[in-house]
Structures are given as structure tokens and as C-alpha cells.
Structure 1
Amino acid sequence: MTGSWLLLDIGNTHTVAGLFSADGARHVQVRFRTDPGCTSDEYRMLLRQLFADAAEGNLWDFIERALLSTVVPALEPVVARACGDIPFHSINAHMTREFELALPFPEQLGADRLANVAGALTLAEPALLIVDAGTATTFCLVDARRAYIGGAIVPGLDTSWRALQARAAKLFAVELVRPDNTVGNTTETQIRSGVLHGYEAMIEGMADRLLRDAGLENATLVATGGCINLIRLSPRFRLEPDLTLKGLHRYGQLNG
């Protein structure tokens, strides 16, 4: 475990953390709820506890460097302080990368999307369409020039589901288990069908429209994010649960 890299992808709802070797081999990965109110001491203790079995000792004795992708800006200084003297990098649009940002305001692109593009380019040649199904569902398009040209942002599965519960007085919470059939015959099965099958249809339909409008019909489709285990996408999607962490690792290699 000596010389491991700590990779952190902090989302609005959950955080995924992984220990990788310098050559990209994954040792262990954990997932926990994002807490914007966490202090640096609490964060340091939490990570040490979560990785206790893998590190076989004090985690912080094994970490060589740390790389962060976050959509929660308040946690960036917290994590930096938690890492102490360990070399720390927070992904941004100004770092060395292997793709162009063909955007009018490249600094607005989220760190998670930067990492996703970097990760996808280690797996397949462009053109690419990358879907990240989380609190928000993001679509990223990379053309054959290795240029990020744009995409779309849609409310995520859980976000949409919670909004439906909050706004529809006669609907109630059900366990989100994917039904095999779209035709529900009870309120529960109709909610499950609408939320889960509807979400799948949204991703498939948005992918078609984005590829058509960008002229990238032959692009490779890659899907990641915390919600991909709840849904079933067509076989044209390559499922990569570790995509963001792989992208963080690639940023680390390019920004030594």
C-alpha cells in the first residue's frame, strides 16, 4: 500500500473514494454520504476508518498524493487541510490534460466532468458521449479532435423522484425497484415504471438527440454514476462505475 494515491470524487449526495497505485491499479474503493458540514479533522478520521482494513494501519502513512474532484466547493479546503502535508491537487480547467475545451467559458465546466472525459479517453478513442447518472445527470460530448464540445444537464433520478413526492400530494414513497414491464396496474408499479423506465428512456433519447445534433452518430457511449446500478441501458452503453476515479488518476499522471 506504500505510495498509494488517494482519489476523491465528491458529489452532491455521495462521495466515492479510492486508493490506487501509481500505475493505475485499484486497491480498494468506498462510498459514503457527502457531508458539507464536515470538519477537516472529522474528514481525516472518517477516511482513516473507512480504509482501515485496506491500509492495515494508519492510512495517512501510506498516501503519496491526493487528487480531488468536487462539485461542493466548501469541501475543497476541508479536504486539503485533512490531507496535511500530502501533495494535493483539486481538478480544474487550467491543469494539463489530453483534450481541448472548445467552450466559451471553459472554467465553468465541473471537475467531475473534466475527470470523466479524462477517464473515458483512457478507455476508448473519440468521438465519445459520456453519461454520468448522479444527483444531476450530465451528458458530455467529445469529438474526434479530442475536443469537449458541450453536452446537457438533467435532474437526476433521485432528484426527480424526490421532487415528484414533494409536489404530488396523492403520491407516496415506494421502493425504487425496476419493474420488468412498463405497464403498471397499481399506483406503486406505475410510479416505479414512470420513474425508472422513464429515466432510462430519457437517457437513451437524450443520447440520440445529442449525437444527432453534434453529428457524432458513431461515437462510443460510456455511462457512469451512482444510479447506473438501478437502471438498465441498452448494450450500446459501456458501463464504467470507476470512470471518474480513473480520470482523476490520469490527471495525476499528467500533473506530477
Structure 2
Amino acid sequence: MLLAVNIGNTNIRFAAFRSETDIITWTINSKPPRTESEFFAKFSNMYEPFGISKDDITDIVIGSVVPPLTLNVKKALRKIHHFTPMIVDRNTPSAIVHTSNQMGTDLYANAVAAHYQDYHGKKIVIDFGTALTFLGINDDGTVGGVVIAPGIITALNSLVGETAQLPNIELKEPKSVLGTDTESCMQSGMVYGFLSMVEGMIDRINEEAGEKCFVISTGGVGGVYKPLTTKIDADDRLHTIKGLKILYELNKDSIK
């Protein structure tokens, strides 16, 4: 069984692939930073609640956008499983063509997943993560470019943290655009406000691309926005980690 690990700024997501469609997934917080020993203690018992034995895991792939955590996670997993995980990044070989020496592993994995799965034509991948990103990719695997904006939860936490009277709210669709109390006012801003930006960015990217792109959303809150618009064609919260799996499959023979 392959274990794919996506180390993000907010969460570390694990996905154990029993098959292409039978995927067991869970997350832990990325913060505070932990040592190798702390990760070892935390990871040692993480499989049991999901009915997985550590011996079921035969391969591990890690993608990370948090360099200080990468090595400690790798060492902890190696200590548990007694083999070395594969670490992938923007330089891991695939059919994706990009010219950036700054592309994050998550963006690269999103491009890989969009290209190798059953999506056709030009594509836009919207990642509703710690940052809100839009990645444009052509049908031949060439990356057209990226947009980076503040993530929705990041913006909400900043709004609540920097004001004296605004509360934490549940991120859900309000009953109307114009709110009648603080909670619904904030929900409208966070949901409809960001949705308007997302729809506007899709239109702008389509115009620049010269065609209607196929739009895939992923990330923690992508499922909140997909039902509210016809401009997002598919939502897959595991899109990024599927990209890590594909990178592993493309390169596993080269490391054995």
C-alpha cells in the first residue's frame, strides 16, 4: 500500500491508497513545528484508528512546501517503516513543462494530477489552501502560469484576529447576500465575496487562454464553493495528493 504525504503550511495530509478509488485519508496540524522524535511518537500510532497496520505500507512518497518539516517527517517515517520515503518536488521528472525555479511542490503536483488524469483541453486548478492559488495548464502539459492570493481561512483568521468585535464563524452559504447580523454579514463576505473573485479570475484566465478551460477545485474548503457556481467543473479534495502518487509511479523504478 502506498502512503502519500502532503506537508502543507496548515496541515500534513496522509493518504493510504488501497486502490485507485479506495483511499484512506487523515490530517494532522503542521504547527507547531516538531522534531524527528516528536513526529516518530505521533506517527507511530496513527494507523490504528483507520484499520491499517504499519506493515501494510510498502511505499511512501512525500511532497512538501514546508522545508523545515520535510527531513524530520522523512526520518520519522523511515524509523517506523525501515525504508526510505521518496521525496518529490518541482524537479521530479514528468511530462509537465514549467520554467519556474520557485514553483511549490503542491502546485507542481496539481499540474501533474490535472495532466495525467482524465481531464482534457486547457485546465485551471484552484487550490483553496493556506494560499488561494490558480494554476493554468495547457493540454500538452505546459504550465501557463499561476495566480497566488490570500487563502480564505487565512483571510478569515486575519479578519477575526485583527478586530475587537468580529467573531469566528462557520464558513457556509448565507441566506442572502446582504446580511442582517454580524455572522451573516461575514459569511456573505467570505463566501460570496471570495466566490466573486474566483469566478472573475476564471473568466480572466479563460480570456487569456483563448478558450473555456476545464476547472478543478481542491483544498480544504473547495467543497464549500463548488456547489455555488457553474464555473467550477469538478472538486477533488485529494487532487494534490493524487499528483504526488502519480509522481511516485512515474519515478519509482529509478530509485530501486
CA distance in 2, matches of 1:76, 1:120: 24
What SS does structure 1 have at the residue aligned with 2:111? Answer: helix
1:94 aligns to 2:91 (yes or no): yes
Superposition pairs for residues 43-192 of structure 1, below 5 Å?
43-57=39-53, 59=54, 61-84=55-78, 85-101=82-98, 103=99, 106-121=100-115, 122-192=117-187
**1:30-86 CA-partner distances (Å, limit 9, x unpaired):** 1221135212233233233222144543x1x22222111211111110111012242
- Separation in 2 of the partners of 1:98 and 1:192? 41
RMSD: 1.9
Indicate how the Cα distance of structure 1 residues 233 and 131 shifts in structure 2: closer, same or farther if over 3 A, else same.
farther
Range that drifts further, 167-176 or 199-208: 167-176
Query: Could you list the per-position Cα deviations for residues 235-255 of structure 1 after superposition, in whole angstroms to 9, with x for gaps in the alignment?
Result: 342111110111111001101
Deviates more, 1:179-188 or 1:135-144: 179-188
Whole-angstrom distance in 2 between the partners of 1:83 and 1:99: 28
Partner amino acid, structure 2, of 1:43: F
Q: Matches of 2:114 and 2:197 in 1, distance apart?
A: 22
| Cα shift at 1:170 | 4.5
Question: What SS does the aligned partner of 1:124 have?
Answer: coil
> CA–CA distance in 2 between the matches of 1:26 and 1:86?
24
| Structure showing the higher helix proportion among its residues | 2
Q: How far off is 1:166 after superposition?
A: 3.3
Please state whether the residue corresponding to 2:44 is helix, strand or coil: helix
Aligned partner letter, 2:93: T
Local SS of the residue matching 2:223: coil
TM-score (normalised: structure 2): 0.88
The CA deviation string for residues 132-184 of structure 1, in whole angstroms up to 9 with x for no partner, is 00110110000132201212001011111122223344433333332132111
Q: What secondary structure is seen at the aligned counterpart in 1 of 2:4?
A: strand
- What one-letter code is carried by the residue in structure 1 that aligns with 2:219? G
**TM-score with structure 1 setting the length:** 0.88
Q: Which runs of 4+ in 1 moved over 4 A?
A: none
Change (3 A) 1:55 1:173: closer
1:245 equivalent in alignment to 2:244? no
Deviations 1:193-223 (A, max 9, x none): 11111111111111111221232x2211000
Q: Aligned match of 2:7 in 10, 18, 33?
A: 10
CA distance in 1, matches of 2:22, 2:39: 21
What's the % identity of the aligned pairs?
A: 26
Matching residue of 1:20: 17
Q: Partner of 1:145: helix, strand, or coil?
A: coil
1:200 counterpart (189, 195, 200):
195
- Structure 1 residue 224 and structure 2 residue 221: aligned? no
Structure 2: gaps of 5 or more residues: none
The one-letter code sitting in structure 1 at the alignment partner of 2:148 is I
Q: How many residues align?
A: 246
Separation in 1, partners of 2:218, 2:189: 21
- Residue 6 of structure 1 aligns to a residue whose secondary structure is strand
- Counterparts of 2:104 and 2:121, CA distance in 1: 20
Q: Which runs of 5+ in 1 are unaligned?
A: none
Find the aligned partners of 2:32 and 2:67 in 1 and give their Cα distance. Answer: 9
